[in-house]
A and B are shown apart, each in its own frame.
Chain A
């Protein structure tokens, strides 16, 4: 079974990286500050995580910093006992 961080990485690659984009997304790539995920797209990412892991991420915790890399997201999920 794939690790959580790989599931998130794959989702981000499929959802946000477009054909012809010269971007390599890794666990540490800055997603929000690097311009890969914009504020609207962050909403879709939050919804994906909530649906996938059956959790509710409060708006206060869904900060650009918390979503700024796959590793940050994994840390955030730990707060919801998702590991």
Chain B
């Protein structure tokens, strides 16, 4: 046996370092379907507690929607549990093609390819379409999966300051000698909840002959008047060359992702993207659930409209309560606390009050920008939000951070 005591010790020490750095992650055990009211066991072995979930990516409240569950159940009956294959050997069913077609229609693109997750889509897409003669120019706050995908690609890598169009233009000028230029951005940025200036990005892409890549995982289904995402919100539908998005957030919340966009680029992914070629197909049960989700949100904007109303209420409520939030218009609403320990303490007290929200701090966000990220859902009713708001006010008072400036909070608790 090679895993001898001295080897075990190496890993124990590494884990201890993670603990002493205060970045050890522990799973909360949810003992209920995903929703606004959940039962949580935390820490492991503790009594279950009923809490309001303010940190799920369940933006449209479809994760446990009866129609979606029913469609998934029927899918299980009609197409079985698993496919025991990657897509191109014997893992493509009629329902996979149907879902790809529905996503293409929904996103207003030319073609779509499914991946086991959006993490996989982002990990595979760059290497599949670019070579060492090309350059990728990414916003500095793009999601970690994009960073990983860029690392796997041989094209040159560069970055521009977050949403700084002047800096992006400089970088586009700098890389005019590359064969292809690809601007890379998230639609809604997951930590700050702000939206990319996609209209300006498209304008620059046209001026400097660049392609545009958009990860719309935190926008698909609810940003834009009909939920088509950031591209709809910014008036550039059909102008994005590559869109990746997830089925694991608003679009049912189960798993799976896709690359959608120009026909030839999608075909390159079918031929070359390693997570597509070497990973199992999405199971039929998930595919059928996702098809139903797309039918539901294409038929009515009711859920995204409710989410928009909930978001407005929540943002206004927090500001009036005297808390500092990252302003914006998405249902990702970070409550800024700046100090890492304070963010942990506030999250713990909120949990005691029956509100489940998580504190984020360095290295997930920059130093001095610790926060509690709250996320709204169409599954939230007004009584959920009123209770959550009351809890934020109670805990905020306890720590003396209501109606304080950023500097005053920092003076009290440090960065």
Contact = CB atoms under 8 A, between A and B. Distances in A.
A59 interface: no
A63 to B, nearest CB: 17
B150 interface: yes
Contacts of A43: 156-158
Given A40-B157, A43-B157, A18 B368 contact: no
Interface in A26-53: 34-35, 38-41, 43-44
Nearest to A22: B368
Given A22-B368, A22-B415, A35-B362, A40 B161 contact: no
B5 to A, nearest CB: 31
B140 interface: yes
Secondary structure at the A interface, as helix, strand, loop or mixed, is loop
Interface size grouping (class) on chain A: 10 to 19
B102 interface: no
Q: Which of B159, B164, B363, B368 has the most CB of A within 10 A?
A: B159
B367 A35 contact: yes
A50 to B, nearest CB: 13
Contacts of B162: 18
A35 B366 contact: yes
A21 interface: yes
Contacts of B159: 38, 40-41, 44
A51 B32 CA distance: 58
Contact of A40 (B150, B164, B368): B150
B204 interface: no
Contact of A35 (B138, B151, B363): B363
Contacts of A39: 151
B147 interface: yes
A46 to B, nearest CB: 11
Contacts of B366: 21, 35
Contacts of B147: 40
B140 A38 contact: yes
Interface string B205-248: 00000000000000000000000000000000000000000000
A64 B161 CA distance: 21
B138 A40 contact: yes
A18 B161 contact: yes
A24 to B, nearest CB: 12
